[in-house]
Structure 1
Amino acid sequence: MKVGLIRCSQTEDMCPGTMDFKVIREKKCAFESIEGEIIIIGTVSCGGCPGKKAVSRAEEMVIRGADTIVLASCITKGTPTGFPCPHAKQIKEVIEKKLGDKVKIIDYTH
């Protein structure tokens, strides 16, 4: 699996993504059923509210080899701030619409 990770721009100053990388490396949480190697192609932010740049950034990671786009838990669950992105559902839907069957979408990390 080749992963492109998208995280919340609002949490970048308080979270370096350590837990995201750990659960990917250790195949825990959203990744526990994944067999084979997991390679991180890239990590980007959504580009800031309302997350419109997430679509083009996901597409770019697919061009660069990602077969899976992961929306980090900071977007979908609000980890660590407790405030999930109010645009998370729309971001996921637009990425799915744009990329179609080209990629798998995982909508959390931990």
Structure 2
Amino acid sequence: MKLGIIRCMQTEDFCPGTADFLAIKEKTGVFQGITEDIEIIGFTNCGGCPAKKSILRARELVKRGADTIVFASCIQRGTPIGYPCPFAKRMKELIVKDLGDSVTILDYTH
């Protein structure tokens, strides 16, 4: 799996992504049951509210080799601040529409 991670720009200042990387390394969370090696292609933010740049960021991750895009848990689950992205559903819809079936989309990391 060649993984591109999109995270929330609002949490970027205080969350270095440690739990995301740990979930990948230990294959927990959404990565549980994945037997293949996971290569991280990139770790980027959504571009800020209302996530308009997320499509361009997803495209760039794919261009650089990602076959899977995962939304960090800060987007879908609101960790660590307890506030999920109000644009998460729409962001995912737009990225899926743009990238099509050629890329796997995962909803959270841990």
Settle same-fold status: TM greater than 0.5: yes
Q: What is the number of equivalent residue pairs in this alignment?
A: 110
Deviation digits for residues 11-33 of structure 1, max 9, x if unmatched? 01110000000000110010012
- What RMSD, in angstroms, separates the aligned Cα atoms of the two structures? 0.5
1:99 corresponds to: 99
Q: TM-score, normalised by structure 1?
A: 0.98
1:108 corresponds to: 108
Q: What code does the residue aligned with 1:17 have?
A: G
Aligned-residue offset at 1:59: 0.6
CA distance in 2, matches of 1:50, 1:13: 18
Q: TM-score, normalised by structure 2?
A: 0.98
CA distance in 1, matches of 2:89, 2:26: 27
1:86 corresponds to: 86
Alignment partner of 1:82: what SS? coil
Deviation digits for residues 27-72 of structure 1, max 9, x if unmatched? 0010012111000000000000001111110011101100000000
CA distance in 2, matches of 1:8, 1:95: 15
User: Which sections of structure 2, spanning at least 5 residues, go unmatched?
Assistant: none
CA distance in 1, matches of 2:27, 2:104: 17
CA distance in 2, matches of 1:59, 1:33: 26
Runs of 4+ that moved beyond 3 A? none
User: What percentage of aligned pairs have identical amino acids?
Assistant: 63
Q: What code does the residue aligned with 1:101 have?
A: D
User: Which sections of structure 1, spanning at least 5 residues, go unmatched?
Assistant: none
